[in-house]
Every structure is written in C-alpha cells, then in structure tokens.
C-alpha cells in the first residue's frame, strides 16, 4: 500500500517561550544559548568577571531575549542571576534534577542548548527564590548560623581543655557557657587558681552547692592546657561579637520590612514561653514578627520567635507562590513520595533534602514530642505505631501546614489539647468496629458498667 504523502508530519513540542535563553553556569566562564531565530551566532561564551556578566546581559537584551534559565550550580549562579535580573530579564533557576542532558552528549554547549530548548517548550519549573529584601534578611541569618556553629566548636575546645586539667565544671553546671561557667572560666584565664574563690562565683540560681563546685574546681593546671583554654575563650568571644553584629543587621532589615506594614489592631497575645533561649537574637523578635507576619506565629506549638524569623527569612511573607499546603510541604520534602509504575507503588519514601527549613522543622517536631499538647500527643501516637523517624516527619509536616495556613489565610491557631487526638483515635476505632460488625450481621452494644446496673 503506497504511503499517504498528504498526511501531515508530526510536529515537535510547541514553543511556549520563543524569546528564551539557556546558560550553562561555570566557575570560570558561562556558555549562553539563544534561539537560532534571534541572531546568527546563537551560542556564545562569556567569562565570569563582572564586566563580562554585564556584557552578557546587554547581548541578551539586544537579541530580544525575555527570559533566561540556568541551573543552580554551586554558588556561581548567584552573581549571574543578580546581574541579569537587574537588566530586566526574567531569570529562572532550574533544578538540575529536572534538566539533565541527553546521555552521551555532555558538553557545555550542548547543556546550554538543551536548557534553552527545554525552557522554550515550557518544560522547566522555576525554583523558589525570595525577593531582594527577604534575600538580604536570609543572608544575614545564614551568616549568623555559621558563626553560631563556629562558636559551638570552641565551646567544645574549652571543655576539652578543662577536662585535661581535671576541672569537672561541666558536671556541676548545666552548661559551661552559662553565668556561673563563664565567670569561672574567665577567672581561671585571668590567673585565679583558688577553688574557694572560684566556687564563690557561683550564681544564686545554680542548683549545685558551693562545696560541690569547689571540689570540681580543684584542678591540675598545666601551662599548655591553660593556653588552649585562653585561645578557645578568645575565639568564642570573637564569634559572640560577630553574632551581635549580625543581630544588629537583622534588626535593621526587619525594621525596614515593617516600615510599610501596618501595626495589627489586636494586641500581641500572651507568650506561651517566657524564657528566652541563649540562641535568640538580642532584640524583641516576637513583636517584630507579629507585625511582619500579621499574626502571632509563636502560638503554634513548636515555633518560637527565632524559628518564626527563620521561616519567614527562608520563604518570605507571601506564600501564594505555593498553591496549596500540599505544594508547600512537597517543596520541603515532608510529604510522601509517589513512585508508581504499572499501577504498583514502588516507593513512598520522602526524598532527601538539605532545605534549612526542613531541618529546623524536624528539630521542632522532636522537641514538641515531649510536650503536653495536641501536637505532642499526635507525635507520640505515631511514634508507637510507625516509629520515631516517621513520626518526626509527620509532625514536622503538620507544623509546616499550620505555618502555611497562618501566613496565607491568617489562621489563628488554638491548641485543642493533648486529649484531642486520643479522643479522635478512639472515635475512629469504634466507628470501624461498628462497620465490621455490621458486615457480619452483628451490632455492637456498650458494655454495662457497675454504676449502670440497678441494685435489687
């Protein structure tokens, strides 16, 4: 049978973004590809210097390019992203998992052309990146987090030096960086060796007696260990000063964000926790977050003032970028996976992620599991049934959903109580038992208690 020459040939994928460009990001140079219809040389290479980035942006604007896609390669994409964005281009940061090139044809030019083709056909989704003001706040918080980690390492160095000198300070105080611990350490570095004078520096809130502390401070002082203690204390103080500088910048940035926001009419609700954590910034975080978020996020169990600040710094105040709470929890990698083939579920494990918010929410879930709240009861019930690891994920997801609803819809959270989930679980089990009994032709009746039995 002769072939039908009049039959139309199958066309390729439709072009959604005709003025799209793709950039293969590198540490030394970037390869840029535009549509062949826009210029005679659609692929060009630019160095990673700032002047070359400016020239790259000007060339893209001259070719009529409207949108640019790039992969998140290390931190090399940040400078190119900001320069292109300043020239009015719509920059899309794509996940490398969704933009893999064709196997066997790996080169910088092929990667750039492949990105351009995928983006032109609308096959790449933009990764979330907050606005300039939120990105500034996020940068300060991340620098502060790094300084906190460095300071924690030097706390270990101080404790190690004290252990070498057989000074058992960590056994008689809750933390060596508390009031009592830092007084004693600074006195030792200053030259004090008398256990009685060191024990007299005990704070009135310290639970251990002065005699117990005195016994722990009778040490074997050696010059090399004293030198290590002095060095660790100096480095710890250095990072504490840097953290204070970060707090000042964070406070200034949050104040600038609140300058255009109205003060809520309702007064700030009563705090659920009175104690301020040592890791909290040195300003009134809760009040500023109340104005910035428009609702008191700390009413949600597990979210303190500092965690609320970190949540907003990572995802902003406009959560409409995620259509539903399910999209938000999927972005956080807290929702179950969905690998299905042939109608069979291959895997439902949550995918691994390095999202800072996910780590913070998991830590909050662990701490809330010990509380006498509805979320704590939810965690404990799941931990018994499916294990601690999955209970942490499920509780972190529930906290994320509450945060999303509070930010997106202004929901005011009210704790239903620790017995809420137990009562709901009991009602669900009874309902299932009634249904199963009805399937076999039986009916369940409540058991008579001694109080309900009449006395003859």
Work out the mean pLDDT of the chain and round it to a whole number: 87
Task: Determine the average pLDDT of the residues in 140-150.
Answer: 95
Task: Determine the average pLDDT of the residues in 409-432.
Answer: 81
pLDDT of residue 58: 95
Task: Determine the average pLDDT of the residues in 226-230.
Answer: 95
Q: Which residues contact 284 (CB under 8 A, 6 or more apart)?
A: none
Tallying the residues shown for the chain, one arrives at 456
Q: What percent of the chain has pLDDT over 70?
A: 93
Angle between helices 223-258 and 179-190 (to 10 degrees): 130
User: What does the pLDDT look like over 28-81, one tens digit per residue?
Assistant: 999 999 999 898 899 999 999 999 999 999 999 999 999 999 988 788 999 999
Neighbours of 233 (CB within 10 A): 20
pLDDT of residue 455: 42
Per the CB < 8 A criterion, the answer to whether 383 and 342 are in contact is: no
Residue 10 has pLDDT above 70, yes or no: no
Task: Determine the average pLDDT of the residues in 363-388.
Answer: 90
Per the CB < 8 A criterion, the answer to whether 199 and 218 are in contact is: no
pLDDT of residue 170: 87
């Amino acid at each position: 049978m002769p072939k039908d020459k009049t039959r139309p040939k199958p066309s390729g994928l439709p072009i959604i973004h005709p003025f799209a460009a793709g950039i293969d990001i590198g540490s030394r140079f970037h390869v840029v590809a535009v549509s062949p219809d826009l210029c005679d040389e659609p692929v060009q290479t630019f160095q990673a210097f700032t002047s070359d980035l400016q020239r790259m942006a000007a060339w893209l604007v001259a070719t009529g390019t409207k949108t640019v896609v790039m992969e998140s390669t290390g931190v090399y994409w940040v400078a190119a992203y900001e320069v292109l964005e300043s020239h009015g281009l719509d920059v899309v940061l794509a996940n490398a998992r969704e933009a893999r090139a064709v196997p066997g044809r790996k080169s910088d030019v092929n990667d750039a052309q492949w990105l351009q083709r995928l983006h032109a056909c609308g096959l790449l989704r933009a990764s979330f990146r907050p606005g300039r003001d939120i990105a500034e706040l996020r940068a300060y918080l991340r620098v502060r987090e790094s300084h906190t980690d460095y300071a924690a390492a030097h706390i270990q160095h101080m404790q190690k030096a004290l252990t070498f000198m057989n000074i058992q300070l960590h056994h008689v105080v809750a933390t060596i960086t508390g009031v009592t611990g830092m007084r004693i350490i600074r006195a030792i570095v200053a030259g004090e060796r008398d256990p009685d004078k060191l024990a007299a520096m005990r704070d009135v809130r310290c639970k251990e007696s002065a005699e117990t502390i005195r016994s722990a401070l009778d040490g074997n002082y050696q010059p090399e260990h004293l030198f290590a203690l002095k060095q660790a204390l100096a480095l710890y103080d250095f990072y504490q000063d840097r953290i204070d500088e970060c707090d000042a910048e964070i406070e200034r940035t949050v104040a600038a964000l609140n300058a255009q926001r109205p003060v809520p009419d309702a007064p700030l609700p009563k705090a659920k926790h009175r104690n301020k954590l040592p890791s909290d910034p040195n300003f009134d975080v809760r009040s500023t977050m109340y104005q910035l978020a428009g609702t008191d996020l700390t009413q949600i169990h597990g979210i303190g003032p500092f965690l609320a600040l970190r949540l907003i710094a990572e995802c902003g105040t406009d959560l409409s970028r995620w259509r539903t709470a399910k999209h938000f929890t999927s972005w956080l990698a807290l929702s179950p996976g969905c690998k299905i083939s042939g109608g069979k579920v291959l895997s439902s494990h949550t995918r691994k992620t390095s999202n800072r918010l996910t780590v913070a929410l998991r830590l909050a879930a662990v701490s809330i599991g010990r509380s006498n709240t509805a979320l704590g009861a939810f965690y404990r019930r799941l931990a018994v049934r499916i294990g601690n690891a999955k209970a942490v994920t499920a509780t972190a997801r529930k906290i994320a959903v509450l945060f999303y609803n509070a930010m997106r819809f202004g929901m005011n959270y009210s704790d239903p109580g620790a017995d809420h989930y137990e009562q709901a679980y009991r009602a669900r089990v009874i309902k299932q038992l009634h249904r199963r009994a009805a399937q076999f032709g039986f009916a369940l009746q409540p058991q008579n208690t001694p109080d309900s039995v009449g006395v003859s």
